[in-house]
Structure 1
Amino acid sequence: MAIYGIADLHLDPIGDKPMDVFSDKWINHEENIFNNWINKITDDDIVLIPGDISWALKLKDALIDLKKIEKLPGYKIIGKGNHDYWWETKSKLDKLGLEDIHFLYNDGYKYKNFGIAGTRGWCPKDSDEFKEKDIKIFDRELNRLKLSLEKIKDIDRKIVMIHYPPFNSDGAPNEFTHIMKEYNVEICVYGHLHAEGHKHVKEGMYNGINYICIASDFIDFDPIKILD
């Protein structure tokens, strides 16, 4: 059993959101992701997918993509991204009956001596995007991370999956990293950064936490192993 990760699948159930308009690197990206996935991941593995799963606007359309993901090898832990407009309540997601998918939403996931927690996160307070209306969203996401980590607080080894990078625009750790430190998180995986955004990627050990960017185009659409 191993734990893998890949974020930002950006699947397109309708066929009106081709990602190659952003870069030639995205040509046939869905096919590349699935082929790489099948070639390395087994049914005994776990795959962390922190957000931007599908361009669908409604859950019934996202279900087309979710069923594709379910058929792939491994057990999948899925979190919400900023483009997952189809995301519904925890009860509605669980009622989809997707047995090989766990929707991480104000809860945690336990497997043997590992605990997995997470939330979407939000853009940092020092970014040009951040406005007064974002304060409420930012604080709510901080609370959701705490709620999730509380569910696995009795587990020795903790992994957080978050969509937005948990850093300020200047690269300094922000409030999300402070919460992770408080709960002795071992590894944090994140996505969201694409193309020119890769210059803002931070990886490696900071304050005892190993940060790994798993945005799909950053890792060449090839799920990476996080832990054996």
Structure 2
Amino acid sequence: MSIYAIGDLHLSFNKPVGLYDVDFETDVDKPMDIFGWERHYEKIRDRWVETVGPEDTVLIPGDISWALRLEQARYDLEWIHALPGKKVLSPGNHCYYAQSKKKVREALPEGMEWVDADYTLVEGKVVAGTRGWNLPGDSMWEEETDRKIYERQVGRLKMALESAAKDHPDKERIVMLHFPPVTRRVVSSGYMDLLKEYDVKVCVYGHLHGRSHRDAVEGQVEGVRLQLVSCDYIGFAPVPVQLG
């Protein structure tokens, strides 16, 4: 059994489709070809099937579906469900359908979990998660609009890690964030402080695409392994979570 991760699937099916039964012209609402992701769902499917076994788990940290409503997101979630392995999902900034954690969880097919300001257990390890947000000092940061959201998301991560540490003090901890906890431009944050405080072994994150890959920080940072898993960054193939 292994734990893999892949983020930012950005699916947009407009009706129920099979893994190998997608009409690109009629079944996809928001093609990603404009970003150079030609029929990227086929790449994800083929590489996922080659990599992930039925007893493995895949972490998907946000931007899973472009759907605005949960009813439409179900098409993307069902397509993911048909892929091998168990899945643990957390929200991204484009997951507009995920206004209610309770409703998302009720809509998920069997073998799929949603974590948001809380945690689950995967193969004897804690997996905690929340969305995250822009970092103070980043080029995209706007103090008036971002400060409140940022601080709330830091609080949500703290809530998840506090609960996990209380319930399972001896288990290794993995964190799923959509936004990076630090970048090459912003070398500290409330998220990073919590990752260190709660002895998190690895944090997987997404959100960075194209030229933004240059801002990514990966590898060991003050005892925490950071791992960018945006699907375009990792070649549209789930990658092992690097616990060692």
TM-score, normalised to structure 2, is: 0.89
The equivalences for 1:6-17 within 5 A come to 6-14=6-14, 15-17=28-30
Residues 4 and 226, structure 1, Cα contact 8 Å, conserved in 2: yes
Cα-Cα RMSD: 1.4
What's the CA shift for 1:20? 1.2
Note if contact 2:225-2:242 (Cα within 8 Å) is conserved in structure 1. no
- Percentage identity across paired residues of the two chains: 39
Is structure 2 residue 185 aligned with structure 1 residue 170? yes
* Closer/same/farther in 2, CA of residues 179 and 127 from structure 1, 3 Å limit: same
Contact 1:127–1:169 at 8 Å: present in 2 too? no
Which residue does the alignment assign to 1:145? Answer: 157
Residue of structure 2 aligned with 1:21, choices 34, 54, 61? 34
Give the match's secondary structure for 1:42: coil
Structure 1, unaligned runs of 5 or more: none
Task: Please list every run of 5 or more consecutive structure 2 residues that lacks an aligned counterpart in the other structure.
Answer: 15-27
Letter in 2 for 1:75: K
Aligned equivalents of 2:237 and 2:109: distance in 1? Answer: 23
CA displacement at 1:4 relative to structure 2? 0.1
Q: Deviation at 1:174?
A: 1.5
How far the C-alpha of 1:88 sits from its partner, in A, is: 2.8
Post-superposition CA distance 1:108-152 (Å, at most 9, x none): 011343100011100111123222121110011001101111232
Task: Tell me what 2:52 maps to.
Answer: 41
The number of aligned residues is 226
C-alpha distance in 1 between matches for 2:242 and 2:52: 13
Pair 1:208 & 2:219 matched: no
Which structure 2 residues correspond to residues 1-228 of structure 1 after superposition, within 5 A?
A: 1-14=1-14, 15-23=28-36, 26-131=37-142, 132-153=144-165, 154-168=169-183, 170-227=185-242
Normalising to structure 1: TM-score of the pair? Answer: 0.95
Within 2, Cα distance between the matches of 1:86 and 1:8?
15
Post-superposition shift, 1:155?
A: 3.9
SS, match of residue 152 in structure 1? helix
Which secondary structure does the structure 1 equivalent of 2:211 belong to? helix
Q: After the TM superposition, which segments of 4 or more aligned residues of structure 1 sit over 2 Å from their partners?
A: none
Please report how far the alpha carbon of residue 169 of structure 1 lies from its aligned counterpart in structure 2 after TM superposition: 5.8
Displacement, 1:56?
A: 0.6
Q: Cα gap change, 1:168/1:226 in structure 2, threshold over 3 Å: closer, same or farther?
A: closer
In structure 2, relative to structure 1, the CA distance for the partners of 1:41 and 1:99 (3 Å cut) is same
The 8 Å contact of residues 5 and 238 in structure 2, kept in 1 or not, is answered as yes
Cα distance in 2 for partners of 1:162, 1:181 equals: 15
AA at the equivalent of 2:47: N
Counterpart in the other structure of 2:21? none
Whether contact under 8 Å (2:203, 2:226) holds in the other structure is yes
In structure 2, give the amino acid aligned to 1:110. L
Deviation at 1:164, TM superposition (A): 0.4
The one-letter amino acid paired with 2:160 is S
